Structure 1
């Protein structure tokens, strides 16, 4: 039951399906990434995907959800930020006492307030990073009810190597250029406007080239800001792309200036691609980026500090190369999902077992 974080959740659904689960996806919020919404990411994994805003008016959502629960024999609900489901959990639990409800928390902002209100109805909580786990312990969860499943990727799918020739030609990238990238959702919490501001601040360094991919609510605003930037600002907005991997191969540095975040997949992809990372000191990002090892952590929203780091790296190519080598090494050592100790499926199975024991 999802209301956000679709990219990671699509990976979760894939793991569950591959583990033998029948998964029904219900979304109460559509995140638009250009001309399409992100529901297509789930439709390639499981046949039952219901994006309620696509075909029902909000007043009809509850009736449809009641129909789903009456017609399917759900063992568990994995809740991920849907405000509607927080509101109706009490009714669902009364009607289906053996239902194991697990909440998936990505950061300590946002819907954690709603989480507190329904804690007594939940069988467990999935945490994406250690900061969230510590918050859950402080909130009253017992350690055996918390599962820390840190997001990971298949590092082998991301390649270091020469820049993709088609992108080099299309974006007119010179051999001496240092490409700084942003790939992700264009939404308030990710602060993509800060990336544009950084490009403006760095406009006097001709080797720094800025490239953005992604879509979202702020797409039009980003286009407006870029169109108003000084003429010498070297930034290209590419919009939504079918495959982001070639862009990560193109980037030398990846910048994520989020105001709030969890453990973003984009940073893992950047590190696996050998990009130095400059990211905000928020959420789970300090567990991914180590200052002066594989990148830099900066105060959220501080364009001037980000620009200073980029200008320093432009003046010191050996330092940049060292950060890039370390980035790939850190990804191979720490973020490859082939070597994960915990799994989403096992966490949900444990919650189902606890609920069944309590009902019996």
Structure 2
């Protein structure tokens, strides 16, 4: 059974994060230019970081859905973990490697100076943990990888639940939720600080768990109230959107989870009913195709945003060196008077990231995934579940 609505939500989640970072980078370039103008979209995408929360709910839903008929026991767990490792690491290594090469060229070290200060520890150990997605006090070298560290934590715990009989999965998820909530409160009261513990007891685990509950219900045959659930969830998310801030994402993620976990779960469950209602809509089908490449988009856009301002500035310098006036190339210098420079920056950032993601998906991500699954995993009988299993990652 196709669930194109889920793929469309993945596109939404990835683009929320993309626009959030584009606006933040634009604001930085404006500040560096000594200007006080506002970004092109103003504050519209200041809360775009909630795309990560939507990703986590989607991930939980799909994990429960695609493993519903999986043989319980060691063999099934092995197949599940291989699928997850093949899905996460190759594309992660590609873009983390590209960033390391760029950092070496720009800063003389394998890590970007904004990511790690060598005076604080061993940079090579930092890079090793980054590439392996092992929790540490610093964000990984490619900073968006912090969500993949959480994903790997989710997968390890969920893999343990796959040893339970299928009908006991909801009970296992409930116990997991209780442990997370109790552990989070206890760790906060005792002021415990450990990178691995913070991942395992993160309140964002509740988003994965709620998504898994919805996925289990859907896989078990529950198909009622899909469109009403989607509408109610969407309204709830829209209402909650202006109530959160970037500071909450860094220090009060529990509040963000409280606002969005339920609305996003309703949206994800409800999206399973959009296929029948919108299957002939070209915008809907286009959004689903964008969702297929959302993992590459998520990982490549920080690199595009790192390189783009420098390319624009270098281009402006070259044009001025051949005789063009500064006013003629101001559209390449973010922070210049007017909105043309902002418009150009946003268009290049969004289109460049989308193009990079599309190329990566078709020439690297999909072929490598097919090769690895074909060589090392048993084929999944349900082709649509196999496709979803291969495309879901934050």
* TM-score category of the 2 structures, normalised to the smaller one: under 0.3
**Alignment TM-score, normalising by the size of structure 1:** 0.26
**Alignment TM-score, normalising by the size of structure 2:** 0.24
The higher relative CO (CA closer than 8 Å, separation ≥ 6) is in 2
Q: Which has the larger share of strand?
A: 1
Q: Which has the larger share of helix?
A: 2
